[in-house]
Amino acid sequence: MPVSPSLLEILCCPAVHAGNACHGDLVQLKSGLQCQTCGLVYPIENGIPILLPDSGIAKDSPLYEQRHKLALEEGDLDK
SS3 7: helix
Instruction: Compute CA distances 66 → 22, 52, 60, 69, 70, whole Å.
Output: 25, 19, 11, 5, 6
Segment contacting Zn ion by CB under 5 A, of 15-23, 25-33, 43-51, 60-68: 15-23
Residues 20-79 close enough to bind Zn ion by CB under 5 A:
22, 24, 35, 37-38
Q: Which is nearer to Zn ion, 67 or 72 (CB)?
A: 67
Q: Which is nearer to Zn ion, 33 or 71 (CB)?
A: 33
| 21: CB partners within 8 A, 6+ apart | 14, 15
Segment contacting Zn ion by CB under 5 A, of 1-9, 13-21, 41-49, 67-75: 13-21
Q: Which is nearer to Zn ion, 3 or 24 (CB)?
A: 24
Q: How far is the CB of 15 from Zn ion (least distance, A)?
A: 4
Taking the CB of residue 41, how many other CB atoms lie within 10 A of it?
23
